[in-house]
Structure 1
């Protein structure tokens, strides 16, 4: 009997060293149905095949792009002819934000063992629901008619520049993830506190307008712009509960100001974001968010999307999907 279906992308960076261990583990556990895709375009067909074996849990083994593409196809494809099985994500990527939110940390094989153990018993106490972010484009107020792209963590404004800086200039150095992220943070602080501009440092953010529909608009240059449906945001912080507006989309925008950034970091560490007003720090919730600017880009779970004059990025929340939380 198949209890777990594992969808792997051998081309993801983490799987270059991990996949042989994953294959060996699956070979020793016939309760796992392991399906490997060579291209992102094969994920829909993979899910339709997986649906035939009726797994109790679907596990995604790949980087942020693999997770995003799988969630997009899973939400739109109706491969399971009804509600899909709960989704688990192995910690196998550069950022692992989704895996971290679901309690999957450390060795991916240990996380897979935990999934298999949970799949052998009642799952109800371990299932959580998460809404997704549905990203579309509008040009002069008219939608492009394309299928929305889905994800759970979006970074924009200066955060996009920093993420691209880390991806294009720091990751190629081959350093450990923690050191790469530390050097990126150091470069960001140098540009903000010292005002240094150089080719080897992140770019200065462009002006951007952010609208929480029915709740007003904020505009300016932001060092950090985050929209997420994850319970955790950056540096392990959480937006304080009880924000005044409903909606699954959590927004945090921090103006390009070192003092405002320090306020946000300290408030985040103590779980106080949104609990009190802080100059330069904007926190809110909503079910629809619009991002506009002359040159504004965002990264949704590793994939870049851009907007320009007359072209908007529109974010809406989806209906919830079930996920498997690995933490006790």
Structure 2
């Protein structure tokens, strides 16, 4: 039985640099079962084969789309007999939010070494944590949902798409690309400049939290996540609420609101006191409605329309491997 199964997508951006090292590492470790796919369409078959070797840990090595597809198949596909193995994610995507939330470092090889160390030890169960996933659908219970852990919408989605379509093609390092995107966003927000080489203005959206009413407006940030913390070092958990509910953060599209949110986040006060222009909440169901308003769930784009809301619910807990002590 393989202690660790590694699912890799060679076509992800990060693997262009790291995959040769990953292959060499796996060749030296006989207890690692390494399976490579050429596209996300092959992930379902990959998991069917991986299930046969009954690994103690499943590691995903690919971009955001690979991670999202693997999580969806892991939860909906029924490939494993009983509970699936805990999941670890290598720091390989453009944003790495899931990997960072689970305690992965910057180096994929160091992360793999830590996974193998835990898989060989008797303390593996102590590092397994349960996390719910975001289930995205159009409200039709017959359709298969798409699963992920971080959703960005409104101005944030526009910024992500701007970075993906306008900045990443320049071939710059990820960190510099993100800085340039942030500068472009601030220019648009602070100066009100509209141009083809800048991110577009966010469209109006209506966000409804089950049993919590609806909020309508234009937002610089719309975030829904099941990660432990939102952006800006924020925890939207209110006293008495369970950890698993979907976390929501909305920041109104105004320079003052965004600056207030950033300052409160840096000072660790966001979520602990009321900040004008910032809306926080949690719920078991969140609906997003708007005219051609885009959201991005772990790298995949979805669009709400009139009469076609995006409905977010939470799944039952899924096991993940927390690498940090």
Following superposition, the deviation at residue 327 of structure 1 comes to: 1.0
Following superposition, the deviation at residue 277 of structure 1 comes to: 1.6
Instruction: Specify the SS of the correspondent of 1:316.
Output: strand
| Cα deviation code 1:36-73 (max 9, x no counterpart) | 11121211111111111111100000000000000000
Q: TM-score, normalised by structure 1?
A: 0.96
2:255 aligned with 1:258: yes
Following superposition, the deviation at residue 87 of structure 1 comes to: 0.2
2:63 aligned with 1:66: no
Gaps of 5+ in 1: none
2:17 aligned with 1:17: yes
Q: Which residue of 2 aligns with 1:57?
A: 57
Q: TM-score, normalised by structure 2?
A: 0.96
Large movers: runs of 4+ above 6 Å: none
Instruction: Specify the SS of the correspondent of 2:309.
Output: strand
Paired residues in the alignment total: 323
Following superposition, the deviation at residue 232 of structure 1 comes to: 2.3
Give the Cα–Cα distance (whole angstroms) in 2 for the partners of residues 243 and 201 of structure 1. Answer: 40
Give the Cα–Cα distance (whole angstroms) in 2 for the partners of residues 64 and 149 of structure 1. Answer: 13
Distance 1:243 1:187, change over 3 A: farther
Q: Which residue of 2 aligns with 1:320?
A: 317
Q: Which residue of 1 aligns with 2:103?
A: 103
Q: Give the root-mean-square deviation of aligned CA atoms.
A: 1.3
Give the Cα–Cα distance (whole angstroms) in 2 for the partners of residues 227 and 53 of structure 1. Answer: 35
Following superposition, the deviation at residue 234 of structure 1 comes to: 1.9
Give the Cα–Cα distance (whole angstroms) in 1 for the partners of residues 241 and 207 of structure 2. Answer: 16
Instruction: Specify the SS of the correspondent of 2:227.
Output: coil
Give the Cα–Cα distance (whole angstroms) in 2 for the partners of residues 323 and 74 of structure 1. Answer: 12
Distance 1:18 1:148, change over 3 A: same
Q: Which residue of 2 aligns with 1:193?
A: 190
Give the Cα–Cα distance (whole angstroms) in 1 for the partners of residues 284 and 267 of structure 2. Answer: 26
Superposed, 1:1-328 pairs within 5 Å as 1-121=1-121, 122-138=123-139, 143=140, 145-235=142-232, 237-239=233-235, 241-243=237-239, 248-328=245-325
Give the Cα–Cα distance (whole angstroms) in 1 for the partners of residues 132 and 240 of structure 2. Answer: 19
Gaps of 5+ in 2: none
Instruction: Specify the SS of the correspondent of 1:100.
Output: helix
| Cα deviation code 1:19-49 (max 9, x no counterpart) | 1111110000001000011121211111111
Following superposition, the deviation at residue 241 of structure 1 comes to: 4.1
Instruction: Specify the SS of the correspondent of 1:311.
Output: coil
Following superposition, the deviation at residue 267 of structure 1 comes to: 2.0
